[in-house]
């Protein structure tokens, strides 16, 4: 079995539900508490590629910080968006489940089961 990771915010009900689903299927991923230890830009580049390559797809666009930083500007490139996530990890959508070379956003939580 490949190494799996779970980008987790314990305060998020969807993240808790997705983690419970994984555990009920015998999956014990490495838990990444991204708010406590924000991912680096290189890590986010890899994560974005596993999710399909569009950084905005992994961003919480309704988060006030998104508007405050002007991240909806279509002229912003991938690196600027990923740097913003690294500097302000609250912008990272959750939960994200990574299994090997694939990743999926757990919204709804049952989506994580697609990678098993």
Q: Which residues are catalytic?
A: 12
Instruction: Quickly count helices (H) and strands (E) in the chain.
Output: 4, 4
Q: Which of 21, 12, 2 is nearest to 92 (CA)?
A: 12
Q: How far apart are CA 88 and CA 18, in angstroms?
A: 23
């Amino acid at each position: 079995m490949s190494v799996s990771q779970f980008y987790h915010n314990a305060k998020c009900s969807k993240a808790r539900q997705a983690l419970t689903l994984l555990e009920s299927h015998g999956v014990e991923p490495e838990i990444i508490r991204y708010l406590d230890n924000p991912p680096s830009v290189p890590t986010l580049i890899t994560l974005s590629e596993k999710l399909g390559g569009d950084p905005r797809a992994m961003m919480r666009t309704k988060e006030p910080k998104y508007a405050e930083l002007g991240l909806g500007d279509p002229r912003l490139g991938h690196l600027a968006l990923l740097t913003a996530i690294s500097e302000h990890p609250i912008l990272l959508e959750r939960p994200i489940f990574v299994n090997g070379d694939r990743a999926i956003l757990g919204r709804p939580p049952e989506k994580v089961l697609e990678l098993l």
